[in-house]
Amino acid sequence: MMAQIGIVIALMAQTYVFDSFLYNNYIHWLFHDVHEKLAVQLIAEYDIADDDILEISYTAPFVSIEIAKRSDARFWVLAPDSVSRWFSSKRVDGMGMGTRFTFATGTPRSLPFPDASFDLIIARDALRFWHDDPYAFAELNRVLKSEGTAVLGAGLGNASADSLSPAKWRMKENWWLKHDKDVWISTLPYPERIEAALTAAGVGNYRLWDEEGNSNRTWVQWHGTETPVQTVLDIDSVLAARDTEYVGQKASDFTLTGPSRDTVTLSELMGEVVVLAFWKTQFQDWTYLTHDLKPLYDSLKADGLHILTINVDEDSSLVGFYYMDFPIPYPVLYDGAGVAHQYGVQGTPQFVFVDQQGLIHTRILGGSEDVLEKVSRTIRTLVRKCQEKKKE
């Protein structure tokens, strides 16, 4: 029996290694031009010569390899596990660059490097695994030299590295914040959470924007500081502090229509509980609306619960597809009147809760593991209070 178990484990390990091999080669084939263009741009932008560079990679360090072909820089690679580390080292050795690369295994939360070690930190697709973890940002800031730069990517976008030029990105995209230092963040699935994580980690002076034509690509960039933050704040407390501008205020009235052509006016629903669910035509947003919220709505709609889903896409052509193929029992509306801006919405999905008095009670941003628990708890609390008020 033990021998059979050993055989199964060995086969599973071989399958994992083989899958990793195929995946690494597939990524290399698919994004080779992007890696090459990104390397060329980074060398030109930051005058890379004999710099110390850290790449955080869940595949082989493709960007570092392209930089190594064109500079005398030294490289460190952080891999998530021993298999990724082994493949990374084999690819580098196969190109005759083994003496210029040092490999380590770990996570961005606990980097095995001294303070102020690197001139440049890069990661083309790692950020999506810890996009709202302030401890990861704080650790990266710790090992970054004071004049160094971090360039971190997330998502599965296919835009070329040419689009990294700020001059080629439109300021009129979904959200834009600009500060003094050179920090780039594009196409954030949860921009407020990443912004809050950067703030909690003491990374300031940044700007954020949506990459043109690519809603699945995120980039973050900032320069190191002389004194990295010693105490990392809680991300939820940062978000809560930002909500004070809206919580307790009278909910702005609006009238919107959707693909059904029905018109909904917020003020006509006053006296009951209204949840404004702002969303984009992307799968994770729609999952919240169709799969996760529907059972709760069905159980509480008779008690005065209303959910209004408000699409904030500039191009709403896909809304009808979602609406027809994945129907939901509450209104789907187009935000043609700037309602998201009135309510301070920067990321989606975002939920704004309006109580029976017409006041904004809470704002909850998607992207955290406990978001559904928070949304459910808030809805039940507000509906209960609404029912108690009606009985008085």
- What residues contact 67, with CB distance under 8 A and at least 6 apart? 39, 42, 43, 48, 53, 73, 75
| pLDDT recorded at residue 146 | 87
| CATH class of residue range 30-240 | alpha beta
Return residue ranges of the chain for CATH 3.40.30.10: 245-391
| pLDDT recorded at residue 354 | 96
Work out the mean pLDDT of the chain and round it to a whole number. Answer: 77
Whether the pLDDT of residue 318 is over 80: the answer is: no
Instruction: Report the range of poorest mean pLDDT among 41-55, 162-176, 358-372.
Output: 162-176
| pLDDT recorded at residue 72 | 95
Could you give phi then psi for residue 142, rounded to 5 degrees? -65, -45
Q: What is the mean pLDDT of residues 39-57?
A: 91
CATH for 245-391 is 3.40.30.10
Q: What is the mean pLDDT of residues 231-257?
A: 87
| pLDDT recorded at residue 217 | 53
Per-residue confidence band for 352, with pLDDT thresholds at 50, 70 and 90:
very high
Q: How do residues 177-189 score in pLDDT, each as one tens digit?
A: 332 223 333 334 5
What CA–CA distance (Å, rounded) separates 75 from 101? 5
Whether the pLDDT of residue 173 is over 60: the answer is: no
Angle at 248 between CA 241 and CA 299, to 5 degrees: 100
Whether the pLDDT of residue 3 is over 60: the answer is: no
Whether the pLDDT of residue 290 is over 50: the answer is: yes
Could you give phi then psi for residue 160, rounded to 5 degrees? -75, 160
User: Which tokens hold the place of 341?
Assistant: 């801006």
Q: What is the mean pLDDT of residues 248-272?
A: 92
What CA–CA distance (Å, rounded) separates 89 from 66? 15
Inter-CA distances, 226 with 8, 47, 142, 147, 203, Å: 52, 21, 10, 8, 12
Of 172 and 135, the one with more pLDDT: 135
Q: What is the three-state SS of 130-175?
A: CCCCHHHHHHHHHHEEEEEEEEEEEECCCCCHHHHCHHHCCCCCCC
| pLDDT recorded at residue 360 | 96
65-79, 118-132, 151-165, 273-287 — which one is most confidently predicted on average?
65-79
Characterize 174-213 residue by residue with b for buried, 16 or more Cβ atoms within 10 angstroms of its Cβ, and e for exposed: bbeeeeeeebbbbbbbbbbbbbbbbbbbbbeebbbbbbee
What CA–CA distance (Å, rounded) separates 369 from 267? 32
Of 175 and 100, the one with more pLDDT: 100
Whether the pLDDT of residue 310 is over 80: the answer is: yes
Return residue ranges of the chain for CATH 3.40.50.150: 30-240
- What residues contact 250, with CB distance under 8 A and at least 6 apart? 358, 359, 360
- What residues contact 284, with CB distance under 8 A and at least 6 apart? 189, 349, 366
Whether the pLDDT of residue 322 is over 90: the answer is: no
Of 354 and 130, the one with more pLDDT: 354
Of 146 and 130, the one with more pLDDT: 146
Contact call for residues 310 and 339 (beta carbons, < 8 A) = yes
Q: E-assigned strands of the chain?
A: 52-56, 74-79, 101-105, 118-123, 144-155, 176-177, 185-186, 208-209, 217-223, 255-257, 263-265, 273-279, 305-311, 332-334, 350-354, 360-365
